[in-house]
């Protein structure tokens, strides 16, 4: 298994841009063996994620189903979408996903970070998170937040995320 270094847009001058990055695919792992098959694993930065493939991925990790219409709207309004996929029998399979929303200036929030259970433990979650942070920083976004279930807090801490060090600042409103 070979991990490839990913260097997107090396000539980037760190100025803000209204044009989102669109990288179709970058090879992450070459010749990965899974179920007696050799596959390549790719990373993509674009908004072209199949809703049904995303639903299958979320089902695989046991997430509660969300209305597809709302998921479609969430994707359309995302600032950044990163996916990880492979081809099995010439069919593209989504195996990782994350997205971010942003005010396009100061703040971004990362949402829906997921890696298919068959591909967990390979470092793909770390690659996914490092890449989404790197892309947000290219837009000079300095405050990056996320919400984490208790069982994954340790994972995010290893990536440099802190539980609000100044005390609880976040508040939530939910319909009754």
d(CA 29, CA 133): 20
* Overall size of the chain counted in residues: 176
Question: Is 156 labeled as catalytic in the residue annotation?
Answer: yes
d(CA 13, CA 86): 32
Given the residues 52, 139, 156, 174, select the one marked as catalytic. Answer: 156
DSSP letters for 110-168: EEEEEE-GGGTTSSHHHHHHHHHHHHHHHTT--EEEE---GGGHHHHHHTT--S-TTS-
User: What amino acid positions are annotated as catalytic residues?
Assistant: 156
């Amino acid at each position: 298994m070979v991990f490839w270094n990913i260097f997107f847009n090396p000539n980037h001058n760190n100025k803000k841009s209204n044009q989102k990055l669109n990288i179709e695919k970058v090879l992450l792992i070459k010749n990965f063996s899974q179920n007696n098959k050799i596959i390549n694993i790719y990373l993509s930065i674009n908004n072209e994620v199949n809703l049904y493939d995303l639903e299958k991925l979320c089902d695989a990790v046991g997430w509660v189903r969300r209305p597809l219409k709302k998921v479609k709207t969430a994707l359309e309004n995302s600032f950044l979408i990163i996916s990880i996929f492979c081809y099995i029998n010439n069919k593209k399979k989504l195996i990782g996903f994350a997205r971010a929303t942003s005010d396009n200036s100061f703040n971004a929030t990362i949402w829906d970070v997921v890696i298919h259970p068959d591909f967990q433990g390979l470092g793909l979650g770390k690659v996914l998170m490092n890449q989404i942070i790197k892309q947000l920083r290219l837009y000079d976004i300095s405050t990056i937040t996320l919400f984490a279930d208790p069982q994954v807090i340790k994972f995010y801490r290893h990536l440099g995320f802190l539980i609000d060090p100044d005390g609880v600042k976040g508040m939530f409103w939910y319909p009754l």
